[in-house]
Amino acid sequence: MAAGAVAAIVGCTLSGAQAGPDATNEIGDPNPEMTIKIYNNAKGYNIYPVLSTGTSASDPWLQSVFKVPKDKLEQMPFPKPNQFRIYINPTGAGIPPGESVTITLPLYSELVPKNKIDPKKPDQYIDWWGGARIEIFDAPVEDGKPPKALRENYKNRDGQVEVFPIKGSEVPICPKCQPFKIFKDPAGLKHNEPSQLTEYTLGALNLNKDPIELNDHNVDFDVSYVDDAYLPIAMEPFGNKQVGYVGMVMSVSKFRKALNTFLDKESLYAGWPQFVDNQGDTILKVPSTLHVFGGDPDLTPEPWPPIDKMIDQWNDCVKTKDNKSNFCKRIRKVRKLFQANYDTYKENYTAFGCDPDKKPIKLDEALMRQHVQGWGPFNEFCSDAKTNLLEQTPGYKANNAARYQKIKEVFDKLQYMKSGKFNPYALMIHSKDYVGAPNVYAYSVDDAVGNMQADGTGLVIAVGGKRGLPNGEPATPPIHVAFGYSLNDSIRFTRYGICTNKPDRDVDPDFPSFDISITSIGDCKLTFLDTLNRKYVFQLKSQPPYPEVNRLTPATHAPIDCSGNTHQVAETWCENIFAYTLVGPQTDDHFAIAPALPQTP
């Protein structure tokens, strides 16, 4: 993968006497760009996307692009405590059905002149790449205007103020959009808005490098149904036709019919809560089990019979010690992990550096259910989100890591019960009786193909159908292609190519591997170039699964097509490539392993 463009740190004097970045660099563009395309395929509905950036105590994306040495990271954190937000066509018809918009998104915009930058102060820059979200609102075409909730956010939102990047700074550009206004806001939009959340991170960081290195041809994205379900949306990478979509491509009418079927008074789940927006209107937006147990105040009033039934089932399993039901056995196995995690939290509260003015949170079954459904550790009042991670729980870590994974598999089996007994919301999302979408997250650690990380130079988002998606097929677990490589080898690979006869990508010494899509099998040559300018070729000629043997055998080599090589070294090298499958509880991992090059010309 090609390394991202970066800018150099120079010793200029800035406010606060900090060394800061210089936006000029002889080796390349200091502010790379990516593209976001949004298509509206929702018949009868205009859509209104809202992009909000993420927050964090430090910004490794800026630290990377400004080449901050690792020993200077604490001195130059570039904190970003506030969100920055742009509303895309926030008035009138928004993006009408059949239309699309294209946004060019720089990595950053400057809010402070270079000679006044203090890297310890917040909001010196807007980071558009390092973790953000696009929430998509909709309204009937006949209304000719956005929903009231969007209008109120755009015009009257408390705490939201317009900001103005400095003259000459790169800013998001959208030729077919209304002129962008950029807002700063200490808070994000709430879950009770009539919108669907999509999430992205543009660029990938190589933390092994000093300074941190940015790969500006990588995207990470998902359509998030972890908290709620409101609209059918699909996402793919821009600039990479190999990767299929995550999310769903059904029509809005079919999607909402499925939600109504789940909520119907004759349904097993009649009485499931819905959201009430800030204007007091109940909206057809279904909260997840995790979200309900989290105590969101913006839901329709209780009673919620399906939720009450889930609580009763949980309590019966915990209290009765039923040893016959697999359902109860699984709940108790999962609960045992969380009890151990809570005990660790309580015993090490001070050592973990948690808030000394507070006591460890008191555990009851409601809190236990909340943590279990969220698959999240107990670290309340601790500042670091990585405190007391579940996989670090005593008895489940190090040599007992397999035990942790087994409990995770038990949890997944509970979530995927065909009866929906443990989590009716997950059933609603995945079952063909309702939404029937396999490529989305229905709970926090849903390891089906819901999140995707892939080569790309941006994102394509399609609402209510597949028009505009470069691939248009559902994403599948990729095949991980790894090739032998060492900087100490005099003969090694220097470039590679995916589905091309011309190796066009530089090898990253820290990550000598890449992914290809299963949908490319049989029509995707993988090409390599070595230090002697010799070319190597192979391709996979059969679909996985492959043998479950992680070594070269006739069976594991059988999926490899070595035709196309023109010299003996390449032919010999290719004869030692093999493919295998690692079987998982929900999804399998597929691999193709190529050896290092011989060191004799």
Q: Across the chain, what does the average pLDDT equal? A: 90
Residue 197 bridge partners (DSSP) = 135
Same domain assignment for residues 127 and 163: yes
Distance spanning both ends of the chain, measured CA to CA: 26
> According to the model, what pLDDT value does residue 8 have?
28
Of the pLDDT bands very low, low, confident and very high (cuts 50, 70, 90), residue 522 is: confident
pLDDT of residue 475: 87
Q: Is 455 in a helix, a strand, or coil?
A: strand
pLDDT score recorded for residue 16 = 29
Query: For 267-311, what is each residue's pLDDT tens digit?
Result: 999 999 999 999 999 999 999 999 999 999 999 999 999 999 999
Supply the pLDDT for residue 12. 27
Q: What is the pLDDT of residue 477?
A: 80
Would you say residue 140 lies in a domain? yes
Residue 600's pLDDT is 80
In a domain, 60, yes or no: yes
Query: What pLDDT is attached to residue 24?
Result: 35
C-alpha torsion 143→146→148→152, nearest 10: -150
Buried b (16+ CB within 10 A) or exposed e, 313-328: bbeebbeeeeeeeebb
Q: Are residues 458 and 510 in the same domain?
A: no
Residue 235 CA, distance from chain mean position:
11
Give a yes or no: residue 2 inside a domain.
no
Reply yes or no on whether the pLDDT at 174 is more than 90: yes
Give the mean model confidence (pLDDT) for residues 110-117.
92
**Is residue 11 pLDDT above 70, yes or no?**
no
To the nearest 10 degrees (0 to 180), the angle between helices 365-374 and 305-320 is 110
pLDDT at 559 over 80: yes
49/26 same-domain check = yes
Q: What is the pLDDT of residue 399?
A: 62
Residue 73, in any domain of the structure: yes
Q: Could you give the angle at the alpha carbon of 291 between the alpha carbons of 365 and 325, nearest 5°?
A: 50
The answer to whether residues 26 and 34 touch, using CB atoms and an 8 Å cutoff, is no
Listing DSSP states for 293-338 in one string gives HTT-SSBPPSP-HHHHHHHHHHHHHHHH--SS-HHHHHHHHHHHHH
pLDDT tens-digit map of 196-233:
999 999 999 988 889 999 989 899 999 999 999 999 99
Are 244 and 264 found together in one domain? no
Does any domain span residue 141? yes
| 540, containing H or E segment | strand 535-540
Q: What is the dihedral of CA 418, 424, 425, 429, to 10 degrees?
A: 30
pLDDT beyond 80 at 457: yes
Residue 454, pLDDT above cutoff 60:
yes
230 within a domain of the structure (yes/no): yes
Residue 599 is assigned to a structural domain of this protein: no
pLDDT of res. 385: 86
Q: Are residues 32 and 181 in the same domain?
A: yes
Q: Are residues 377 and 241 in the same domain?
A: no
pLDDT of residue 281: 95
| 317 and 261 share one domain | yes
Pairing status of strand 233-237 against strand 246-247: antiparallel
If one counts the domains in the chain, the total is 3
pLDDT at 526 over 90: yes
Contacts of residue 244, defined as CB under 8 A and 6 or more positions apart, other chains included, come to 236, 471, 472, 473, 474, 475, 476, 517, 519
Query: Based on the domain organization, do 404 and 259 belong to the same domain?
Result: yes
| Stretch 520-530: mean pLDDT | 88
Q: Which of 27-31, 139-143, 213-217, 227-231 has the lowest mean pLDDT?
A: 27-31
Distance, in Å, from the CA atom of 23 to the CA atom of 21, rounded to the nearest integer, reads 6
Return the structure tokens found at 595. Answer: 């050896």
214 is in which domain, residue-wise? 9-250+454-463
Residue 584 lies in a domain: yes
pLDDT at position 585 is 62
pLDDT of residue 5: 30
The model's confidence at residue 583, banded by pLDDT at 50, 70 and 90, is confident
Tokens of 528: 């390599």
Identify the pLDDT of residue 117: 92
Percentages of the chain per state (helix, strand, coil), in multiples of 5: 20, 25, 50
- Reported as a single tens digit per residue, the pLDDT across 181-206 is 999 999 999 999 999 999 999 999 98
Q: So what's the pLDDT on residue 10?
A: 27
User: 101: which strand partners?
Assistant: 38
Rounded to 5 degrees, φ, ψ at 21 are -80, 150
**pLDDT of the residue at 439:** 81
pLDDT at position 322: 65
Query: d(Cα 42, Cα 228) in Å, to the nearest integer?
Result: 19
Same domain, 235 and 100: yes
pLDDT given at position 359: 96
Q: Kind of pairing, strands 458-463 and 33-40?
A: parallel
pLDDT, tens digit (0-9, with 9 covering 90-100), for 54-94: 999 999 999 999 999 999 999 999 999 999 999 999 999 99
Do 288 and 274 share a domain, yes or no?
A: yes
List pLDDT tens digits, range 225-265.
999 999 999 999 999 888 899 999 999 999 999 999 999 99
432 — pLDDT class (breaks 50, 70, 90): very high
Confidence of residue 521 (pLDDT cuts 50, 70, 90): confident
Same domain (yes/no): 369, 429: yes
Whether the pTM exceeds 0.85: the reply is yes
Q: Residue 449 has what pLDDT?
A: 65
Q: Are residues 34 and 132 in the same domain?
A: yes
What average pLDDT does the segment 104-109 reach?
97
